[in-house]
Each structure stands twice: as C-alpha cells, then as structure tokens.
Amino acid sequence: MRAVAATSPGERRPSAGARAAADLLIDGERLSALLGRPVRATRLRFKPGLSTTAVLVDPAGTVPPGWIQVSHPGHQDKVRNALRRAHDRDLHVHVLRTGDLTVAHGDLDSDPRLQRGLDGLRSVHPSVRQAVAAGRLEVLRYNPQRRVVLRRALAHGEALVLRVTADQQHDVRARLAAYAAAGVPVVEPVSARGLHRTRRVTVWPWFGRGDLAHLSAVRTDGSAGAPTAGGPTRVDAAEVTAAAAAAGEALARLHRADLRHPRVPDPVPALQSLVEELAALDTSGAHRVGLLARRCGDRIAATDWATGPVHGDFSADQVLVGRAGEDTVRLTDFDRAGHGPLLADLGSFAAAELLAVTDGAAGPTAWDVAALPLTNHLLAGYAHTGEGGAGGGRAGALAADDPALRTWVARALLARVSEPFRAGDPDWVEGIHRRLDQVELVLR
C-alpha cells in the first residue's frame, strides 16, 4: 500500500515531524484509505516523536472498538511486544508501513497491555469481540493499553460491570468499604463469579439507570433512552434536581470523612506537563497555558484551602442515579482519589458541566458558572449537610459565582484544554484556543 502525504501543518503548529503519527490518526480520510475501511480515531495518547495510541472506531457502530498505535522510526519495541503477546494467545495484530511510520492495530482482544487482564475473562468470554457481537457484553469505556469497562448481561434484565486494567487494582475493596462505612454512597465490587482470579479484573453490580450527566442531557433534549439494565427510561427535571442535590450531600460526606489517603498531585505544578505536551503540538497554545497556569496558581497560592479526602476527578458522569427502591445516587470511579483541596472536586464538577453546556466555545455563557443548573443543585446539597466543607468553613455560603470556586473551575478547565486534540477533532487547534478563551473569561 502506498504512503499518503501528510496534511499541511497549521501556522500555530511546530514541525510536523514530532506529531506525524498523530496527524495520521486525526486525518480520518487518510487513515480509512490506509486501513481499507471507514474508521475514526479518538482518545489519542500522544508521545512526541515516539508514538500515538488511540481507540479505533467504526463510524457506523457495527464493529466493536479496537486499538491502533502509530510509531515513529526507532520506537518499534512496543510493536514487537504486541506481536509477541498476540502470537502467544493465537490472536492477530495488523502491521503496515506508511512512509517512515509503522501502524499496528487490532481488535480489543489483542490489546497488548490488557492481555493479562483479558486472560481473566477468557474462561467465560474467550473473545470479547464475539461476545459484544452476540450481545453478551457491551463496551462502556475503552482506553487502549490502560483499561476497558464492559457490561455483562445477566438474566431478568440485570447486569454486571467488568473492569479490566493493564495495572493491578490494589486495595479497591478496602478503600470502597471505608467510604461506605463513612456514609458515602458508593458501588462496591462483588465476587468474580467464575472468572479467573486476578488483580487486573474487578466485578461490580450494575447500579441505577444511568449517570447524572447522561440523564441531565436526556431531560434537556426531551428524549428517552438512558443506559440501564432495565431498558430505556424517562426522567423529569425534579428527578435530575434531586439527584444533583443528593450528589452534593454524598460529596460532602466524603470530604468530611476521617480517612487516611496519600496526597493528590499538587494542582498547579501538575499543569506543567500539559504545557510541555502542547509545546510539541501548538506553541502558541502552550504559551497561553503557561500564562494562565501562573495566574491560576497565584490565586491558589494566595489562600489556605480546606483539605481532606477528595474524589480527584469529580463530575456528573461519576454520579450514578438509582432506580425506584435504590439509593438516590452512588458515586463511582475513585481512581484519582486522595487527600487534597476540597474545592478541586467542586471545581471539576462545574468545569465538566460548563464544557457540556458550551462545548468549549467562547460567548455570553462560556464563563457563567452561576448559570449551571447541576452545579447549583450540587452546591445546595453540599451545603445541606451543614458541616464544614470546601470553603474553609464557608460551605453553607458557597455559591456558584463565588470567586474561590471560579479559581478551581479555571484550574479544571486548564487540565482539560487538550481534549479537542485527544478527541481527534480535525479542528483541534481552534478548539484548544476556544477553551483557553473560556479559561480567561472564567478567571476575569
């Protein structure tokens, strides 16, 4: 197959060489021609001058997602490892060359770093791809070479969630049991039910009828069909309001819990890695991120923030909403939990809602945290506990337009500024700068 010339770099972009692998994945027409079928790449993980890994998606949705890795010369060791692991398990990985780049791709079953975890499923599901095609499994989330989350259908409309990871899942049961003992509503793992025992696979009961972000969107556009083991559902505004308030109460219980956790990364220096990543993509964007990070950092350094147990990645899609007879909500996905500034959780929740409402576009509502309905209901529930909290003793008075909250919203927006690139958006440069415009508005 002949090589296809790279797309022309934009004026803000540095030399194309460091991002040639990413450029190939973002160019959907070129990638489809190379692989001989319609495809799209998303969830890009970029290593400048080395490789870029992504989810390979069928635009029609008829083929389960797979993985793809495009490597630069001199970085072929990962490809050789993928071939070896696939050969050991009688799986197939496709490898081809285009110019100086090596392209390796395959279905989910052959994901090279998930092999040990997937081995734990093979006694029940020898092929994830075939199980998905037969309706026995559904892919909920997939991050190549890191994790996959699957829904496993059971009898009577019930289901389990299978979480498979490249790294071992340490102390999951003990940590979630501690949260539950502190009154935090969480989903706790269950026994493996016939699966091979491994620390790379955990099994969870299916809870509720969907997450708060999805149910809020369903309510907003008037459609039905939140993902649930019991089938499509309808929600109304009162249910969403109650769920958001309950999520605020649950978060407050977490924040005041007497739990020992390692500290989360310092919130400001953690942005430096983003500046370095963007420097290989968009030098203008990297410069703007550096300036905004300093402004945000100065605001954070000027206050002695209340700290305690934090979720670490809190947003509406980490809030599962119960069905009739179940808890109103339960919190999930504590991978980044630790000890840190409490307002960081509230800021990340508001930032996620702001992005969902505005899609990162600058405009009259791009900065208006006070107008976010879920955030306002969450803050009301958070204050309802009446016991301390993120505002350093001001939790009961914390409003969505509080400058302290806006500081942490800006910090969370900065942490997500490269998402247009990671999503494989062909207009990712403009998308990044629209988001930076939004951060400037929130900080003003």
Q: What's the per-residue H, E or C state across 272-299?
A: HHHHHHHHCCCHHHHHHHHHHHHHHHHH
For the cut 90, the answer to whether the pLDDT of residue 3 exceeds it is no
Ranking 111-120, 155-164, 216-225 by mean pLDDT, the lowest is: 216-225
For the cut 90, the answer to whether the pLDDT of residue 299 exceeds it is yes
Ranking 285-289, 312-316, 359-363 by mean pLDDT, the lowest is: 359-363
The pLDDT assigned to 396 comes to: 45
The pLDDT assigned to 398 comes to: 81
- Give 386's pLDDT tier (boundaries 50, 70, 90): low
Global pTM reads 0.90
Residue 83, token pair as written in the block: 């071939």
Residues 166-187 have a mean pLDDT of: 95
Question: What's the rounded Cα separation, in Å, for the pair 230 and 326?
Answer: 13
Question: What's the rounded Cα separation, in Å, for the pair 109 and 118?
Answer: 7
What separation in angstroms does the CA of 105 have from each of 5, 17, 20, 48? 20, 21, 17, 19
For the cut 90, the answer to whether the pLDDT of residue 2 exceeds it is no
Question: What's the rounded Cα separation, in Å, for the pair 48 and 281?
Answer: 8
What separation in angstroms does the CA of 303 have from each of 84, 169, 387? 53, 35, 20
| H helix runs in 18-156, sequence order | 20-26, 28-35, 77-88, 115-119, 128-133
Residues 284-309 have a mean pLDDT of: 94
- Give 82's pLDDT tier (boundaries 50, 70, 90): confident
Angle between helices 343-358 and 373-384 (to 10 degrees): 160
The pLDDT assigned to 198 comes to: 86
Q: Count other C-beta atoms under 10 Å from residue 237's C-beta.
A: 11
Task: Return the closest-CA partner of residue 417 out of 441, 433, 440.
Answer: 433
The pLDDT assigned to 81 comes to: 82
Ranking 289-293, 304-308, 397-401, 431-435 by mean pLDDT, the lowest is: 397-401
- Give 222's pLDDT tier (boundaries 50, 70, 90): very low
Question: What's the distance, CA 75 to chain centroid?
Answer: 27
